[in-house]
């Protein structure tokens, strides 16, 4: 599957954010389930997360940045980081990165409904 020139679109409230895609097995499996709508929980005023099905994993990393969309393998969770700190989080697979407007997620405290699709 060719992921070049494809993007994730995250829709919530009146917002739409565009995200790049990584080229890995986890992404290739995840996009087969799109479009999907989740109620995502807020954690530490830093990230939105939701538990998802097990996804195929090739390798994991222990770092993230603001705007990263990741799969956290220990908790089988899709995570969107809208703030970053120096805390290492083991077992992450980067799915993509929000290109612009990540800070808009800060305007939606608590749990929010997000629809994810591919463009």
Give the CATH number, domain containing residue 13: 2.40.100.20
Q: What residues make up the domain containing 60? A: 8-118
Instruction: Report the pLDDT value the prediction gives residue 5, as an integer from 0 to 100.
Output: 84
Interval 81-94: pLDDT, tens: 999 887 889 999 99
Q: Is residue 27 a part of any domain in this protein? A: yes
Q: What is the mean pLDDT of residues 83-108?
A: 93
Instruction: Record the tokens describing residue 2, joined without a space.
Output: 């060719």
pLDDT range class, residue 99, cuts 50, 70, 90: very high
Total structural domains in the chain? Answer: 1
Q: Is 62 exposed, middle or buried (CB count within 10 Å of its CB: 0-12, 13-18, 19+)?
A: exposed
Q: What is the mean pLDDT of residues 55-66?
A: 94
Q: What percent of the chain has pLDDT over 90?
A: 89
Q: What is the mean pLDDT of residues 68-79?
A: 97
């Amino acid at each position: 599957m060719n992921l070049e020139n494809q993007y994730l679109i995250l829709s919530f409230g009146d917002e739409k954010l565009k995200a790049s895609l990584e080229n890995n097995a986890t992404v290739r499996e995840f996009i087969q389930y799109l479009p999907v709508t989740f109620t995502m929980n807020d954690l530490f005023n830093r990230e939105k997360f939701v538990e998802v099905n097990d996804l195929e994993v090739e390798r994991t990393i222990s770092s993230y940045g603001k705007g990263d969309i990741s799969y956290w393998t220990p908790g089988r969770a899709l995570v969107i980081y809208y703030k970053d700190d120096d805390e290492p989080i083991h077992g992450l697979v980067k799915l993509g990165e929000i290109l612009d407007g990540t800070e808009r997620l800060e305007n939606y405290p608590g749990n929010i409904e997000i629809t994810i699709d591919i463009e």
